[in-house]
């Protein structure tokens, strides 16, 4: 079996509104409702609606032989329910075909797998329940951690939760001479299978497609199929993982990205010996070639494929540490608004905005950030966190003595 696995990450964070020092203790609503709604509506029109319609058309055209998979973050699902219910319905129609697989992740698109096993389990369970509620009892079998962050220990935690497989980056410094085009096993629990992103071919679509200075511009289906055919015959799996917003948002419709995707399956079926599969189908049908050792976490971000997009500078580390100092207090409080804000404050994007990289990946970070500088992002976030801490203290003071002792 030689097969292509298309995986798309669908994510929108709840962006924080400008929150000043003088708002602390006075204003407990942190979220920029106008920006969140307008951005969701814009991305829905440019990406989600046209691309979902295209995928549905392609699934029907090829009688289910064309397949894709999605991970839709919990924060994105919440915004779809609130701001774009017609988009949520279009995702539901795709899943109902039986040729689209949904994956689980952390509900808040959080970095909790790096800090708290308990919070990680809570976030995964919350996302499981949300997927089950919104997609008619659907239960994912494969996991995708936030930002494809993975290590041996994270894989072991995912295996304990009963998943068959996990997706991550085919990072060069981990693979060495090995190829990402095989199925591997977690080094601590071989029952968990690992699918690795082929970053070269994935990023040709996601990042380079509309770049007129790229040596291989323009990217045509014929060219892409030639690259696919150059993969050695013994390498069975080509994992093309990317943000869903690639289509129409990062790569505008004018680049021809939709036409490229519309014509790609036909070119693959006619001119290669590849088909298309979902992650679960691959795990059932492909052979594993051995364990992969990832002692230090990797991700799919930046040239380094490490954690430095979110953690590593003083701003990020201070905000991250301060946030997770609050975990026990939050868990002791039964308050829907506290729990919602706790979840949304964990979203990885807030830490991404604090990144101080200014060289190889600086332009990418600037593109995604609503702030003028990383320092502005840090101050805004810490102001919000200061107010959140005041609320926790107030709620904690009202708890029974027995609960207070556990904090």
Crossing angle of the two packed helices 49-61 and 85-96, in degrees rounded to 10: 20
Whole-number Å distance between alpha carbons of 194 and 186: 6
Q: Which of 105, 147, 169, 236 is an active site residue?
A: 147
Which pair of structure tokens corresponds to residue 193?
């299978």
Please say if 147 is a catalytic residue: yes
Instruction: From residue 310, give the alpha-carbon distance in Å to each of 24, 90, 182, 347.
Output: 25, 32, 29, 10
Whole-number Å distance between alpha carbons of 356 and 362: 8
Instruction: From residue 142, give the alpha-carbon distance in Å to each of 180, 229, 327.
Output: 18, 28, 27
> 377-407: buried (b, 16+ CB within 10 Å) or exposed (e) per residue?
bbbbbbbbbebbbebbeebbeebeeeeeeee
| Kind plus residue range of the DSSP H or E element containing 239 | strand 237-243
Token pair 């002791």: residue: 332
Whole-number Å distance between alpha carbons of 252 and 250: 6
Do residues 320 and 351 make contact, with C-beta atoms less than 8 angstroms apart?
Answer: yes
Which pair of structure tokens corresponds to residue 69?
């998979």
Do residues 23 and 257 make contact, with C-beta atoms less than 8 angstroms apart?
Answer: no
Active site residue ranges: 147
């Amino acid at each position: 079996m030689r097969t292509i696995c298309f995986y798309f990450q669908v994510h929108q964070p709840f962006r924080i509104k400008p929150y000043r020092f003088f708002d602390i203790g006075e204003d407990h609503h942190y979220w920029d409702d106008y920006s969140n709604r307008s951005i969701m509506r814009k991305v829905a029109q440019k990406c989600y609606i046209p691309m979902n319609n295209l995928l549905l058309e392609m699934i029907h055209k090829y009688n289910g032989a064309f397949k894709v998979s999605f991970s839709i973050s919990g924060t994105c699902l919440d915004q779809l329910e609130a701001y774009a219910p017609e988009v949520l319905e279009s995702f539901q129609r795709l899943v109902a075909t039986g040729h689209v697989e949904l994956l689980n992740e952390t509900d808040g698109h959080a970095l909790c797998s790096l800090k708290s096993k308990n919070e990680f389990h809570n976030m995964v369970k919350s996302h499981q329940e949300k997927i089950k509620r919104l997609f008619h009892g659907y239960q994912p079998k494969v996991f995708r951690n936030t930002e494809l962050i993975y290590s041996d220990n994270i894989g072991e935690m995912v295996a304990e939760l009963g998943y068959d497989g996990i997706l991550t980056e085919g990072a060069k410094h981990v693979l060495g001479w090995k190829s990402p085009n095989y199925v591997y096993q977690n080094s601590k629990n071989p029952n968990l299978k690992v699918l690795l992103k082929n970053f070269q071919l994935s990023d040709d679509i996601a990042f380079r497609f509309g770049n007129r200075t790229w040596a291989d511009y323009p990217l045509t289906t014929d060219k892409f199929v030639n690259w696919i055919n150059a993969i050695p015959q013994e390498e069975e799996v080509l994992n093309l993982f990317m943000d869903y917003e690639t289509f129409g948002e990062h790569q505008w419709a004018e680049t021809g990205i939709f036409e490229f995707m519309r014509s790609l399956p036909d070119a693959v079926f006619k001119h290669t010996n590849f088909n298309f599969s979902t992650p679960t189908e691959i795990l059932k049908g492909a052979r594993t070639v051995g364990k992969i050792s990832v002692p230090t976490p990797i991700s799919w971000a930046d040239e380094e494929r490490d954690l430095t997009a979110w953690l590593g500078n003083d701003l990020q580390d201070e905000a991250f540490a301060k946030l997770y100092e609050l975990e026990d207090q939050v868990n002791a409080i039964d308050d829907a608004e506290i729990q919602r804000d706790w979840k949304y404050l964990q979203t990885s994007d807030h830490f991404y905005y604090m990144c101080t990289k200014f060289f190889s990946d600086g332009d990418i970070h600037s593109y995604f950030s609503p702030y003028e500088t990383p320092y502005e992002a840090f101050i805004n976030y810490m102001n919000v966190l200061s107010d959140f801490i005041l609320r926790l203290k107030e709620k904690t003071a009202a708890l029974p003595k027995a609960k207070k002792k556990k904090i």
